[in-house]
Every structure is written in C-alpha cells, then in structure tokens.
Structure 1
Amino acid sequence: MNFKYTDDQIEIRRMVRDWAQGYLAPKAAEIDETNEFPMDNVKALMEQDLMGIAYPEELGGGGADAISEAIAMEEVTAACAATGSIMTGHYLGFDSLYLQGTDEQKERWLRPALEGEKLAAFCLTEPAGGSDPTATRTTATEDGDCYVLNGVKHFITSGAYADFLSVFAMTDRSKGRDGLTCFIVEKGTPGMKIGAGDDKMGIRGARTHEIIFEDCRVPKENIVGEIGKGYRLALDVIDRGRIGIAAMCVGLSQAAFDAAVKYSKEREVFGRPISKFQGISWMIADMGTQLEAMRMLTYYAADLKEQGVNFSKVASMAKLFGAEASHKIVTTALQIHGGYGYMKEYPIERMYRDQRILELFEGTSQIQRIVIAGQILREAK
C-alpha cells in the first residue's frame, strides 16, 4: 500500500484534534468520576458533524472516506475514551440500516442519525453470551402486522439514551443462524424497558444497560433486511465496527504515549531527565513502533473498506493487534510514570482502566484469532 495522507485527511485530523482537546479532554476526568452519560458531548459531536462523517452526503453523511472516519474516532478517543466509545456505538447502531435498510427506513432513521438528530444503539449481546449470535435467546414472534419481542439484551452502549435500537432476535430458533432477524425498535415503544446500568472499570461515561423486551410489539416495516438474514447482517456490522475499535486503540495509545514522553522529559532522577536513561528511551522506542504499526494496520483495513473489497480478516487483525499493542503501550506509559501513574491526579491512571475493554468488546482477542485463522485457512491452497 502506497500510503500518503490527503489534504482532506490532514485537515480533518487538525480540526477534530483541536476541537476534541479543547472541548472533550478537559471533561474526561469528571465524566469518569461521576459515571454519568455525557449527553453534552454527544450533542457536541453531532454539532461537529462527526456522527456520520464517512457516509454519503445524499443520505445526510459527511461524504468523507473511511480513513478520515478512523482519524476522527482516533482523535475523539485520545481526548476522551468514553466519548469515543459512544461514537463507535452510534455507528454500530445505524450501520444495519445503511447496509440493508429500505429507502423509507433510511429516511426515517438513518438520515437523522447521520445528521445528528437521533442517537442509535446496537443490541446483539445478551447475558448468556455475545460472541455467538446463534445463541440469541431473544425471540420475535409474528402476530398480525407486528412481531412481538421477548428477551433481554446486555452491555448495550447508549441503550438507555438512544432514540432507536437495532435489535437482533430469533424469528425461528429451529433454523439456528438462519433464524436471526434485525428490527428497529424506537425509544418509548411499549414493552421495551431499560434495565440495570453497569458499573464499569473504565470508559465509565459510555453507559451500558440491560434492555428488556416484554411483549414488545414492533411493526413489520421495522424489519431491516430479510427475515432470517440477520446473522450475516450482524457480522457485517461487527466487521465494520472493528475498524472503529482499532481506531480507538490508536487514539488511546497516542494519548498514553504522549503523556509518557512528556513526563519522561520533565521527571528528573540522579540529576537528569529519565528520558536520558537507556532503559526509558528504549521503552519509548518500542511504544512508538507499536503505535505506528497499529495505526497503519487500521488505515489499511479502512482503505480496503473504502475500496469495497473484503476487509473482514484485516479488520480483525487491526482490532486484535491494536487491542493487545495498546495494552502494552498504556502499561508501559504507566510504568514510566512510576508511582505517580497509579494516582488519579494523572490521566494515565484513567487511560489504564479505559484500555482494558478494548481487548473485550467487538469480539475478544480470542474471537479475533478464530476469525483470522479461519479466513487464512480457507484462503490457503
């Protein structure tokens, strides 16, 4: 890949970084401490046209390319990881409509989501598991001109605050993966209840809740795609979402790296900055190398997506490598801070907690390895 930033990508990075560092970063510690959903940040993201930056202008999006989208997610996450998670969750929530929605559905839900008028959420994971969509227990039973949903979804980012949710339910459990269907459920629909909120280790402002469906009637016109085709749709949405998570890995790692470099040049031991010691300087060299490697792999996946070719394997690679490399980078950054890194007065303590989820959601590192190995072996001759 002959990679060079375009003028538009450079300008998007400058614009989003300046805004995010000025508006989001000063609020990140308070959001973490209060454990409250940062609706002001969400509204600000919408006002900045960052909630649909790489989607077609004719649908209400920004018309930018997929690398620009990754750059924007990277810069938002560098300033506030919780807000970055809300941003990626919103994209997951409306992507099923973009991929398989009807023209009427796109006008009703997708356009407002892209234009910053509605917040979306993605409802697949359940208490009994999330990595295997075929284990979905939420059911959707046909009843006249509606389907009646019953079940519980778990760990739903923005679920308590979203205007609509993309909900995956079994319309025919006997068919396994061919029995899964996607529905749009609007906020306030009778039978949809907001359950318990989660008290998480990190990205605390990206509030997640249980969503409970008890005889929740959803009109048939809210079905996204075909009945029984939700399994492939869910995987397609997740593949696209993994690039967003990889971009989050880059953003958080960049923030941790910058904090470590700054601290190493300011902190003096034995009469000189610790950056002058070979042990520290080599740690910085390794961090910088890992950071650039994950960034390029993420952009490669985004570029494949932009070209419209199969990017599933590379997206999983970007997410796997990014998540595990970010663990090393953030851990090393905290180590460079020494005892001060363990104190809440330094942002690296929060970054350390925020990072851990990156190895878990959108498929754990173990799931990524299954996906990657499976595709490599299928491609082998």
Structure 2
Amino acid sequence: MLHDTMAESTGLQLELSEEMRMLQELARDFARKEILPRADEYDRSGEWPWDIFHKAREVGLVNMNIPEEYGGLGANVLEECLVAEELAYACSGIQTALMLNQLAVLPLLLAGSDEQKKRYFPRLVDEGKIMSYCMTEPDAGSDVAGIKTTATRKGDSYILNGAKTWITDAPVASFFTVFAKTDPEGGHKGMSCFIVERDYPGVSVSKPLEKMGQHAAQAAMVFFEEVEVPASNLVGREGDGFMLAMQVFDRSRPPVAAAATGVARRALDEAVKYAGERTAFGQPIAQFQGVGFMLADMRIRVEAARALAWKAAWLADQGRRNTLEAAIAKAFCADAAMQNTLDAVQVFGGNGYSREYPVEKLMRDAKIYQIYEGTTQIQKAIIVRELYRDARRGSQ
C-alpha cells in the first residue's frame, strides 16, 4: 500500500513521499503518451476508451482504491487526487471514464461485506469489468433523499423498480451500485444501497445520452423493472443508504476537485503558450497587461485549487471529518476550471472558438464540474450549514 507522509504540526505540510511522486510521474507520463494524443479523437467519436482503459489497468492507474488483497493498489484519497489531476490534464472525459470504478466501489469499501468484496473486486481488477454509481434520477438530482426508485423485500430478495439518469459509464458497465428506497415513507432513513448486476432480468440501459462535453465518459439512463436482487447484495444495513451516500461524497469530491484542477492547469498552460507566441502591435500579447493579469489570475486559481483538493483528501486519509473541506474544494476547483477555460478561450480570441484549437474542448469539458458530484450551489449550502454547525459548537 502507498503511504502518505504528510504530517500535521502547525498546519498541513504539503510534502509528497517518494512513492507518491513516482505515482504522480507515472500518471503524468501515461497521460502525455496515451491520452493526450487521442483526446480529440474520443471527443469527436464519443466512443468509450476501452484500449486506454486496459493500458491504464495494466499499470495500476484504475481501480486504485481497491485493497491490495483483492488485486488493487490500496491507494488513499490523496493518491487518487494526484492521478486524477494528471489524467484530466490530458482529457477529463477519458479520466472520468477510467476512474469511475473508484466512485462506484466506495459503498462497498465503506460498508460492504467481505463476501461482497471477494465476489466483485477481483472481477473489476482482473477481468477489467466496469461498475457504475446509480444515484441521480429524472426527478432527483441535488435532492438525494428525493429518489423514487424502490426496493421491496420479498423473501430472500428485494424487488427493484425505478429509473436512474446521467449514469456515467452505464453503457459499458457490468455492475451497478444502486440507491433505492426500502421505506418510501422513511425520508432520509428510508434509503438503502444494493449491488445490481447488468444481466439480472429487468435491467436495461439506454443508448448514450448526448451531452456538451466529456464525450468519452458515456452516460445513460438505467431502468429497473421488477428486478430481483438477492438480499445478500444489500450493502451495509437497510436504511443506511443516505448516510452511506454522504460518506461517499466526502471521499469522492476531493479527486473530482483534483481533476478540475487538472483542467484548469491545462487551460493555463495552453493560454501561456499561445500568449507568448501570438503577436499584436509588434509584441507578444502576454506583454499587454490585460492579458498578462488574466494569466496571473489563472495561475493563482490553479495553485489555490490544488491546495484545497489536497487538504480535503488529506483529512479523509487521516480519518478526520472533511465534509466542509470537501465542499470547499469541490466548489472552488469547479469554478476555477470553468473560469480558466473561459479565460483561455478569451486569450485565444477567435481561434479559441474553433475546434481546431484545444481550449474549445476544455471549456465544454469544464462545465460539468459545476454540476456533478453536487452542484456548486449545493456545495455552498453545505458550507453554510457547516459554518453554523461550528458556530453552535463554539457557543457550547
């Protein structure tokens, strides 16, 4: 297992271990050699990147958080962040497709039984299967507790009915972690989580949904019609689904924030290069204050974004509550990616609006970071809630 040598004295010390630096370099090299040259191809075709996935699996850059005993790397959240930033720098769509298993297995890592882990983890690691995370529904996105999919106990099984939408990797997934209401009247306490296999009768998946960006990370609707799920596929206890989902977010949001940082960094690099080469009025446009200050702001966002993502990840790895820090990182990094890509298009001028230049794709890819894993507005609502939670603690 890779270990984090970060230590806390007067504060967070941002120093990576030698193993972490090696992992970061591995991910950077893979991204530059295997992903970057083909990013435009997959953006245009919308195909799922199976060949890149299997190459990444061979070198240990997918299924990272699966424990070593099941064939994974046993990586912690910060290590996931290091890889996410480097892969997303090359193509956030391919990065999302490749690393989605790490989101989908989190419920099992947090609450799954040994038997469930033994049954499913090796199939992901050794066989290269894909698992998708099924939470969002047509009428329930930000309102997680508002899901309508039901799971009704019947003997040794649950009967699953409902529909999920915008499920990343669903078109290629063999397994799903599905959140459903076992007690429709129970509110937050009525939700549970299940492992559902694609070949169970009654499971169907739509064709990939058309979307603005991250085309390689195909998303689809998933339908459940009288699907019989063995009771042994219940993850954790009945009624624990909402709390489990919240625990998942605390561990999944830092790598998403790190991936957004990778997009922001790529936008900066492209803008710096272009502004240094493009001339106007007899000098590189970077020499004009209006452009130069824009580049400086882009760099500030990248540095701040990375620090916030790493802090949220580090807290999770220390077993400490990171709900506030994960929300801050997700909100800031998503906005940083969006603003940096907008600024990069502006630096490129008319060329930035053309698909012949990379920043057009970066801008399309960046927008989703302000939406999935909880919108920026939801993150701010969490931050406000945590502010008053801390205030109440301080008054006691």
TM-score range, shorter chain: over 0.9
Deviation at 1:44, TM superposition (A): 2.1
Asked whether the equivalents of residues 171 and 207 of structure 2 are also in contact (C-alpha less than 8 Å), the reply is no
2:146 to 135, 138, 151: 135
Q: In the alignment, residue 29 of structure 1 is paired with which amino acid?
A: D
1:208 aligns with 2:216: no
Could you give the per-residue CA deviations for residues 137-189 of structure 1, whole angstroms, max 9, x where no partner exists?
Answer: 11111112111111000000011211210001111111111111101011211
Number of residue pairs aligned between Structure 1 and Structure 2: 381
1:198 aligns with 2:209: yes
TM-score computed with the length of structure 1 as normaliser: 0.97
Stretch of structure 1 that moved more, 86-95 or 181-190 = 86-95
Aligned to 2:5: none
Counterparts of 1:59 and 1:312 in 2: how far apart (Å)? 28
Structure 1's 306 and 116: CA in aligned 2 closer, same or farther, altered over 3 A?
farther
Gaps of 5+ in 1: none
Secondary structure, counterpart of 2:273 in structure 1: helix
Deviation at 1:114, TM superposition (A): 4.6
Q: In the alignment, residue 356 of structure 1 is paired with which amino acid?
A: K
1:175 to 176, 182, 186: 186
Aligned to 2:347: 336
Stretch of structure 1 that moved more, 192-201 or 361-370 = 192-201
1:45 aligns with 2:44: no
Counterparts of 2:194 and 2:353 in 1: how far apart (Å)? 44
1:101 to 101, 106, 112: 112
Asked whether the equivalents of residues 21 and 79 of structure 1 are also in contact (C-alpha less than 8 Å), the reply is yes
2:298 to 262, 273, 287: 287
Aligned to 1:70: 81
Counterparts of 2:85 and 2:126 in 1: how far apart (Å)? 21
Aligned to 1:153: 164
Aligned to 2:228: 217
Could you give the per-residue CA deviations for residues 68-123 of structure 1, whole angstroms, max 9, x where no partner exists?
Answer: 21010111111111112223422111110000010010111134335563211100
Structure 1's 30 and 138: CA in aligned 2 closer, same or farther, altered over 3 A?
same
Counterparts of 2:287 and 2:18 in 1: how far apart (Å)? 36
Aligned to 2:366: 355
Structure 1's 90 and 64: CA in aligned 2 closer, same or farther, altered over 3 A?
closer
Aligned to 2:6: none
Aligned to 1:13: 24
Deviation at 1:54, TM superposition (A): 4.2
Asked whether the equivalents of residues 131 and 174 of structure 2 are also in contact (C-alpha less than 8 Å), the reply is yes
Deviation at 1:268, TM superposition (A): 1.2
Asked whether the equivalents of residues 17 and 75 of structure 1 are also in contact (C-alpha less than 8 Å), the reply is yes
Aligned to 1:306: 317
Secondary structure, counterpart of 1:26 in structure 2: helix
Deviation at 1:41, TM superposition (A): 2.2
Counterparts of 1:135 and 1:65 in 2: how far apart (Å)? 31
Gaps of 5+ in 2: 1-11
Deviation at 1:195, TM superposition (A): 2.0
Secondary structure, counterpart of 1:310 in structure 2: coil
Stretch of structure 1 that moved more, 30-39 or 362-371 = 30-39
Q: In the alignment, residue 109 of structure 2 is paired with which amino acid?
A: Y
Asked whether the equivalents of residues 64 and 102 of structure 2 are also in contact (C-alpha less than 8 Å), the reply is no
- 1:249-288 matched pairs, under 5 angstroms: 249-288=260-299
Q: Percentage identity across aligned positions?
A: 39
TM-score computed with the length of structure 2 as normaliser: 0.93
Counterparts of 2:195 and 2:65 in 1: how far apart (Å)? 22
Could you give the per-residue CA deviations for residues 268-288 of structure 1, whole angstroms, max 9, x where no partner exists?
Answer: 112221122222111111110
Secondary structure, counterpart of 1:31 in structure 2: helix
Stretch of structure 1 that moved more, 235-244 or 249-258 = 235-244
RMSD between superposed Cα atoms in Å: 1.4
Counterparts of 1:41 and 1:312 in 2: how far apart (Å)? 33
1:234 aligns with 2:245: yes
Secondary structure, counterpart of 1:173 in structure 2: coil
Q: In the alignment, residue 290 of structure 2 is paired with which amino acid?
A: G
Counterparts of 2:65 and 2:110 in 1: how far apart (Å)? 14
